[in-house]
Amino acid sequence: MTSTLPRPVTTAADLVQPAMRRAVDTLNPSVRNVVSYHLGWLDPDGKPTKSSGGKALRPALALLSAQAAGGTAAQGVPGAVAVQFVHDFSLLHDDVMDGDVERRHRPTAWKLFG
C-alpha cells in the first residue's frame, strides 16, 4: 500500500531538514558522525544514505502551531528543529539506558560508536 503524507508534513520536512543539517554541521566531527548516523543520514561506515530522516510529524506540528499563533512556517523552523532534536536524542538516551542494540533496523548509535 502506498500512502501520501499530508502537505504540512512534507512542507515541514522540506523546511526543517536543511536547518537540522546546518545545525549538525557545526558539531565537532566525532560527534557529528554519531549524530548523523543516529538521524539516519550516514550508514555504519560513515557513507551518506538516501534516508529522508523520518516522517517529520513533530516538526509539522511545531510549524502548524507557529502558524496558528499568527506566525509563518518559516518563523517556526527553529522551534521545529528543536522539537525534532529533543525527540531524536530522547531516543538515543533511551537506547543507552535500556541497552537496546537496534533501532530502525540498524545498530544503535551507542552500540556502533561506544
List pLDDT tens digits, range 60-110: 999 999 999 999 999 999 999 999 999 999 999 999 999 999 998 999 999
Can you give the residue ranges of every domain in the chain?
7-113
Say which residues have a Cβ less than 8 Å from residue 58's Cβ, sequence separation at least 6: 80, 83, 84, 87
CATH class of the domain whose range is 7-113: mainly alpha
Residue 6's pLDDT is 67
List pLDDT tens digits, range 2-36: 666 567 778 888 999 999 999 999 999 999 999 99
pLDDT confidence bin for 112, thresholds 50/70/90: very high
**Inter-residue contact 42 to 36 (CB < 8 Å):** yes
Q: Which of 103, 110, 111 is nearest to 51 (CA)?
A: 103
